[in-house]
Structures are given as structure tokens and as C-alpha cells.
A and B are shown apart, each in its own frame.
Chain A
Amino acid sequence: MDQLLQHGVNALILGGTYALLGIGLTLIFGIMRVVNFTHGELYSFGAYMMFMWVMFAGVNFFLALVLAVVLGIALGAVIEVLLLRRLKGADIDTTMLVMIGAWIALQNAEQLAWSGVAKSIDNPFPAWPLVLGPVSVSWNRLFVFAVALALIAGAYALINRTRLGKAMRATFQDPETAALMGVEINFVHTATFALGSGLAAAAGALLGPVFVVYPTMGDLASLKAFAIVILGGLGSIPGATIGGFILAFMEELGAGYVSSGFRDGMGFLLIIAILLLKPTGLFAQKERIG
């Protein structure tokens, strides 16, 4: 029982960051229909920016977090304007190839800038964990969880309560009609990509100090983000959130009670099962075709 409680707490905290990654990608993948291979690189970019500000510039930890996210948003906007805007109307293969190229270029740039050796980031939290009965958890992870929940709530509010969010949803439903109704499609695309990228950078900046930072850290993150989006249903924000938590629980419990060697496999097994039963994912919105 004690072990189960600890597993539950671990999964809940892990799930928060998975959800963050998933929401970021579902916006881009769902709304813009871009198979975004750079998502994981934005994640590692966020972590490296955190490393740069905290360890090199000596900036306050919390300010560094804000800076890392802002820079992630900026990098996302740059990628959208420089690469994706030119590819509008191009077929999906072309876009995919360009994004794979951007992924490789970004990862190698990180390697060139920071070398392949893993870096660790100091954090201002107490060195001793919070202990509640049989369960203990580090303050840093609790902080990550709280910020992740706040960001998820923020993303919800932005999409459901603001004009920009309405424009995004309209573009997702039908880009042509939205354009005819006066929605600035170009701007919506840039904003969506930047927002999705910012969420990935936030996940990286939050988790960088918990783990270590290295150039290929984004690969697994990217893979998991795709899994979460497909699990939750393309373009569905509640789907991505719940999908993130399901994946975390599956991994944690699978590793705890079945086999830790297959930890990463567990989540994917579940995804295969769900896709067999419900090919559009758990919470897919009805798509308008044609």
C-alpha cells in the first residue's frame, strides 16, 4: 500500500509535465496540421536556457524560468515565420522533411554550443524532501507540478476565453471559412506555434533542474508528446491533459508492478490497445472533412 501511494504521487507529478508537453504539441499538430518534430528540441532549448541563465548569468531561478519560456515562445515564432509560413500549401511530406531537418539542425546546434556532456542546474529548493507518512517527494518536483497545473489552466483559459483562442478554434475547424470571416490566419498560425513551443520550453525549463540537461534529451520527450496527442485525440486539449496523466500512471505502475525494463514500453502498449478500439483517440473532436 505504501508503495502504491508513492507510485501514485510519482505518476501524478510526472503526468503534469507530460500533459504540458502534450498540450503544446496537440495545438500545433491539431490546429496547424504540422507534424512538429522540433517539439522535443524546444523542450531541450527551454532546459538549456534555464542552464544558461541560472548557471552562467547567475539570474534568479524563477526569473530564469520566465526568461526561458519567453525565449521558447520567440524561437517558436521564428521557426513558424521562417520555415512554416513559406510552406503553406505544401504537401505534408515536404513539411515533415523540413521539420526533421530543423530538428537535426537544432539538436546539433545545442551540441555545438554546450557540448555533449550532461549539465546540471542548481535549484533554490530545500535539499530534504517533503515527507507525508510513507510518501516523500522533493520540493522541486512539487514546484514543477504546481507550475505545470497553472500553465495547463492558463492554456485552457487562453483557448476557451480569449479572442485569440476563438480564432485558433475557428482556424482548426475550417481555415478557409475562418479566413473569410476575417481571422488573420497567418497570425493565428504564428501564435499557435509559438504558444505550443512555449509550453514545450516550459516543460524543459521545469524539468531541467530536476534531471540533467543534454542535447538529445528532447528525443524521448518528443516521442512521448506524440504518443499523448494520439492517445488523447488530435487537437483535443482535455484529451492531451488526460492522456498525459494516463501515460504517466501506466509507466509508473507498469514499472512498479510488472517490469521496470519495459517502463517506456508500457505506455505504448496502452496506446496500441486504445487505437485498436478507438482509432481517433480518446477525445477526438469531430472533424469536418472537405
Chain B
Amino acid sequence: MTSRTLKAAVLAVLGATLLAAGAQAQDTIKIGVTQPLTGAFAASGNYVAQGAKIAEEEINKAGGVLGKQIQLIVEDNKSNPTEAAATAEKLIVRDKVPVMMGAWSSTLTLAVMPKLEEYKVPMLVETSSSGKITVSGNPYIFRISPTSEMEAKAFTPLFKSMGIKKADFLATNNDFGLGASKEFSEAAKREGVQVGVMETMDPKATDFSAQLAKIKASGGDTLFVTTAVEQITLILKQAKDQQLSARIITTGGSNSPEQLIQQAGEAANGSYHLVFFTPWFPEAVKNPDIAKKFVAIWNQKGHQVGGLTEGFRGWDGLHVIVEAIKAAGKAEPEAITKALWDVKVKGINGDIAFIKQGPAGKESAQNVPSVYLVKIEGGKVTRQ
């Protein structure tokens, strides 16, 4: 081959690649995802992203939406609110996504929210539970996870049936933890339960000996813990080291009982957990067929079993988004925002639909999800 033909060949190949790339870019509908893939909440964020990718694959295999394939663009917000806002801006401005999903923790979601208003792009909130998110008057918020208030309401009858007389609280010092402590302690007071100490911990902290010593001295029969699985693991272990006798109940659904059994071992026995999906008994959920199928694919992919209680959020979230794109008939932020309000999806958590929350005229959308209580006994998750 002469050098001239070689050059021509190289150019031809390059040109073809460029054209192909261009064509592909036009043929896909981009959906932005911002999750904590590293940092304090890394485990959970990765699971949500994995769940979303399973949904992406399924949807694309079935022909995509509006005749196009969907393409997830997943950005790492590093468990950091500043980064979360930056990833949202990047997804919207550079990748031009018409709709997003994120941002896992309440603090991260709250950091992203002003960007949604600025660029008028809707975001599906898959995990955050702080009440603030849906009552602050941001009309681009569509939340499928329960608020702490909803969780506390669902738990209310159990104060009596579990015989709770005095409750102490330990929560991570952010919007998620403080919000949950407030809602659950108020619910407890309404039920005539005495509220002991309300302790907090830095979201990055790993040593809770001081808090646990104080909780032990308070002497409640039940300790409500609100944080993510990493800190729950350590709390269970350290509570055992300090021989805390109170029964531990974790709220927020990011407690991954399976991972607790693996990492906290014996210390996990006897603890209760509020979850939004029960992969151990998929027949118990509202849409068992969908749940069973999801569990099967998850296991087939070799993802961590402990991630199922987190991963389903990504699956549910993406299906809601795609359903809205289909209803909107075009992949544009305004049309999708409008369409999301009327979406009805059979999800893994249950049937998803939105109600209005927040100040009139600027309402955010909130789903009313199912909440389940499970207990770890003898290294196994049992139904309550």
C-alpha cells in the first residue's frame, strides 16, 4: 500500500467513525444520573446505578422508547453536595439531558435542586427522604421514595404492638438523619412513648462510642438509628461492644440487612430495619412478578445480594422516567415534566403515581410507597 492510499484509508475509517458517532448521538435519548459512586455513600450509590443499568438494558432490548435507544450518563457526585450540584450542571449543560435521576442522599438532592429550577429540567428522586425536598416549592422534583414523615406514619401502630415505652435516637447529622429523628420522635410522643436522648453523628464518623455510652445511660428500650448502611454496620458492632441492651430499629431503607449480616455478623442479630423492598420474600410485595424478575437478573449479573434493597430504586426510577418520555412523545424537559405527573408505573416497590406536595402553584411530586419492617434473626432476614 502506498503512503497515499494508506492516508486515504485512515481518513475513511476516521470519517466513518465520526459519522457513526454522530448518528448514534442522534439516535439515543440521554438520561442523566447523579449518584454517590465514591465517598461515604459509595456502596448505595453504586447499587442504585446498577439497578438503573439493568432497566436500561431491558428497555433497550425491548426497542427503547419513541423508536430510539436510551443512554444513561452516570456521574459520580462523590457523596459531596458541591460535587452533586456540579454533576447536575454538567449533565444538563454539556450532555443536554432532558431529565435526570438522583442524587441519593437528601443533602445531595437539596444541593442539586436550585440547578433544576435554573435550567428547568425535571429530576426523579429515588432515595432521599427529607421532607424539605418536596415542600420547598420546586416543581421539577418527582420523588418515588417515601418521606421520613410517611415512614414514621407507617411505623406508628408498631410503637404499641412492639411494646416501646422509651425511645432514644441516633441519626447522621444531615437533612436525612435530622428529619427522620424529628418525625419519628414526634410520632413516638403522639403514641405516649417517652423520648430519651436525641444524638447525632457526623456523616463521616466511624467511632460512636461517646454517643452509645450516652444512649446506654439514657436507658431506653428501643434505639432508632437513621443513617446509611456503612455507619449502621459500625453502630451495631459498637453497640454490642458496649453491651447496649436496647433493641435497634433503623429507618430510611438504606440499611441493606444482607450487607449488615455479612459485615456486622453476630452483632446484626435482633435488629429491625424499615425497608422499601423485601427481596428475601418477593412474593410479599405488591407486584411480585416484576420483583422476582429483577432479583433474578440482579443475581445473574453477579451484583452483591446486599445491594438489592438499594438497586431496585434505580430500576423503578428509570422505568418511571421512560414511561414519562413515552407519554410526552418527545425528549424535552418541559414535556417530560408535564408527562411525569400522570405516569402510572408498576414498580418493584409497588404502584408508582404522584401526588402534589408543597406550596400551591409550585408543587413537587411525591409518590406514596410501601414500607416494610424486617428483622435479622440468626443471620437471616425474617418478615415482621
User: Which residues of chain A have a CB within 8 Å of any CB of chain B?
Assistant: 2-3, 6-7, 10, 14, 111, 115-118, 120, 127-129, 131, 136-138, 141, 211-212, 214-217, 219-220, 251-256, 259-261, 263-264
Contact = CB atoms under 8 A, between A and B. Distances in A.
B106 to A, nearest CB: 16
Nearest to A10: B209
Please provide the 9 A-B residue pairs with the shortest distance between their CB atoms, ordered closest to farther.
Answer: A116-B42, A255-B210, A116-B38, A138-B241, A10-B209, A3-B217, A261-B200, A211-B206, A6-B213
Nearest to B241: A138
A189 to B, nearest CB: 33
Contact of A260 (B43, B200, B206): B200
Interface residues of B, number: 36
Interface in B211-269: 211, 213-214, 216-217, 230, 233-234, 238, 240-243, 262-263, 265-267
A116 B210 contact: no
Contacts of A220: 204
A14 B207 contact: yes
Contacts of A128: 240
A120 B204 CA distance: 16
Given A2-B217, A3-B217, A260 B210 contact: yes
B200 A116 contact: no
B381 to A, nearest CB: 19
A10 B201 CA distance: 16
Most buried by B among A115, A116, A141, A264: A116
Nearest to A119: B263
B202 A131 contact: no
Nearest to B45: A116
B89 interface: no
10 contacts: A2-B217, A129-B243, A136-B242, A211-B207, A212-B230, A252-B209, A256-B214, A260-B201, A261-B200, A261-B202
Nearest to B38: A116
Nearest to B307: A117
B241 A141 contact: yes
A129 B214 contact: no
Given A127-B265, A127-B266, A260-B199, A251 B230 contact: no
B230 A214 contact: yes
Nearest to B210: A255
A116 B39 CA distance: 6
A118 B211 contact: no
B214 A3 contact: yes
Most buried by A among B42, B210, B217, B240: B210
Given A3-B217, A212-B230, A263 B210 contact: yes
Contacts of B204: 216, 219-220
Interface string B191-210: 00000000111101111011
Given A129-B241, A129-B243, A141-B241, 7 more contacts: A3-B217, A115-B42, A116-B43, A214-B42, A252-B210, A255-B211, A255-B214
Contacts of B233: 118, 120, 212
B172 to A, nearest CB: 10
Contact of A256 (B200, B205, B213, B240): B213
B213 A3 contact: yes
A282 B323 CA distance: 65
A259 B201 CA distance: 10
B287 interface: no
B46 interface: yes
Interface string B35-47: 0011110110010
A252 B205 CA distance: 13
Contacts of B367: none
Contacts of B240: 127-129
A217 B199 CA distance: 23
B230 A6 contact: no
Interface in B34-70: 37-40, 42-43, 46
Nearest to A121: B263
A256 B210 contact: yes
B173 interface: yes
B182 to A, nearest CB: 14
Given A6-B242, A212-B233, A216-B40, A260 B211 contact: yes
Given A6-B242, A220-B204, A118 B210 contact: no
Contacts of B42: 115-118, 214
A264 B216 CA distance: 21
A216 B80 CA distance: 12
A260 B230 contact: no
Contact of A212 (B46, B206, B216, B265): B206
Contacts of B266: 127
